Amino acid sequence: MRESKLMFLQYLTGLLILIFGTFHFLLLSYLAPTTNKVLYLYLGNTHQLIGGTLYYSTVKEIYTTLLWGAMFEAFLTVLVYHAFNGFRVILSEQFQGPRAEKIITYTMLVIALIIFIYGSRTIVVLLTGGG
């Protein structure tokens, strides 16, 4: 894939991280499908919990919802691509040359796949009631 297309995807995933991150925050606060909603009020360097607390059962209820599980999987995909493509670009600028580029690209791909598979496994285990 051409570098310009990879960078377009980098910018697109950055935007999607903002969108998914917003939904993730809202899920733990206002949109949580439980009565234990989480909302923090930040005062200086400290924070106070307002309107609930984050219990394991609350998190588990969120993760057993298929729609939210699909959103978390999309969020994971976007995060992994954005992070490891960013690392690839930074390392490629530091260590130039076709051989170094190939080594960096394949190393980042392998590490990204390992993290993606582990993250996906975690989401699937929680969706099926495990954890």
Domain CATH number, residue 67? 1.20.1300
pTM over 0.85: no
Cα separation, 48 vs 68, whole angstroms: 26
pLDDT at 22: 86
Sign of CA dihedral 54, 60, 65, 70: positive
| Number of domains forming the structure of the chain | 1
Q: What is the domain extent for residue 46?
A: 3-127
Q: Model confidence over 45-88: pLDDT tens digits? A: 555 555 555 566 666 777 777 887 888 899 999 999 999 999 99
Q: Considering the chain, what is the average pLDDT of its residues?
A: 81
51: left (phi over 0), alpha (psi -120 to 50) or beta: left
pLDDT at 50: 52
pLDDT at 24: 77
